[in-house]
Amino acid sequence: MTNMCDVCGLPEELCICEDVSKSETEVTVTVEDRKYNDVTVASGFDIDDIDIKDLASELKSTLACGGTITNDNIELQGNHKQELKDKLREKGYIVK
């Protein structure tokens, strides 16, 4: 028997909770000038409904950069503001 989602009641492979969460989440993308280089920061994620580690890993791979997760924010090394906005919109997030 397949596992059921506790929130929507659908089987886990058909669960729509993450998609609904994405469409309701407003993410802010900024570039911070740090001591040695620029850092692109995406903030405003609801970490209860999305897997921020998987998202950060996918973004780092797609944008070919390093990065980390701090205080529910995704920080990427370098100035990737426009590319990050485009990728997040493709994934269904509302980007400011």
> For the segment 23-72, what is each residue's pLDDT rounded down to a tens digit?
567 899 999 999 989 999 999 987 777 788 999 999 999 999 999 999 88
Domain ranges of the chain: 26-95
Band (93; pLDDT cuts 50, 70, 90): confident
DSSP designation for 9: -
Q: Is 40 exposed, middle or buried (0-12, 13-18, 19+ CB in 10 A)?
A: buried
Output the pLDDT for position 46.
Answer: 78
Neighbouring CB atoms inside 10 A of 39's CB total 19
* pLDDT single digits (tens) 13-22: 777 666 665 6
| DSSP three-state, residue 65 | coil
| Beta strand spans in the chain (E) | 26-33, 38-43, 67-70, 73-77, 94-95
Q: What is the CATH number of domain 26-95?
A: 3.30.780.10
DSSP strand pairing (94-95 vs 67-70): unpaired
